[in-house]
Amino acid sequence: MSTDHDAAIDAAKQQIPSAAQAFAAWPAALPTGRFAVYGDVDLYQSGGFEDPRLVLYTGVSRLPSATVGWCLFGASRNVQPGKDRDTLPSGARETLSDTTVVRALQFLAVDHPETDEAAIEALAVPGVTSSLATLASAVHQNHEGRAVPLNCEVGTYVYAYHRGPVRVGTATADVVLIGSPIWIAKTETKEDQNQ
């Protein structure tokens, strides 16, 4: 990662709360509307969508107050920690047969301010957040046992959330955040630093 990129992330973190801060009062209170958070996430990345702009990031963060699942749809120009070209599992494809769900995630992938309101409206349609949480769960489950998640620091805009419990692979999430990444940065391990 370049120094400029690191500086841009550090500047963004000064403007938005960590996931632990945002969920400190869980379950009594949650941020409302579109909000931004950052946090460490054990993250998988998936392609395989008909729309080539779509990349799905799924993951889990274990916070002191809650277990958070992440369902993030990013434009392909976003920073990516290695692209997974696997096709989507059948459970995910079933979810994508719902045109309302597809419309919502396409708005998320455009990554343009004009689509924010449209994305929020599309996600407010009954059943859409539940379907996207199911999609994230199916995709995440498909990765587990076949790949090791990449530990990343993720900054994201959250457009909606789905209250759990929701199975995200082997974890049970109290809430699943649905949004679009601002940045994804690989977290260096001691092994990385020693190489």
Confidence (pTM): 0.83
Q: What is the rounded CA–CA span in Å between residue 93 and residue 101?
A: 11
Report the pLDDT value the prediction gives residue 95, as an integer from 0 to 100. 76
- C-alpha distances in angstroms, 67 versus 2, 116, 145, 164? 31, 26, 20, 10
DSSP string, 51-72: STT-EEEEEEEE-SS-EEEEEE
Number of residues that this document lists for the chain = 195
Report the pLDDT value the prediction gives residue 2, as an integer from 0 to 100. 56
Report the pLDDT value the prediction gives residue 82, as an integer from 0 to 100. 39
Query: CA angle, corner 116, sides to 114 and 119, nearest 5?
Result: 120
Per-residue pLDDT of the chain (195 residues; tens, 9 = 90+): 456 777 888 888 888 999 999 988 888 877 777 899 999 998 888 877 776 667 889 999 999 999 999 999 875 444 343 344 456 777 677 777 788 888 887 777 766 666 778 888 888 899 999 999 988 888 888 888 778 888 889 999 999 999 989 998 888 999 999 988 888 888 755 444 344
Report the pLDDT value the prediction gives residue 19, as an integer from 0 to 100. 92
Q: Computed from CA positions of residues 113, 154, 29, 17, in that sequence, does the dihedral angle turn out positive or negative?
A: negative
Report the pLDDT value the prediction gives residue 110, as an integer from 0 to 100. 66
Q: Judge contact between 123 and 104, C-beta under 8 A.
A: yes
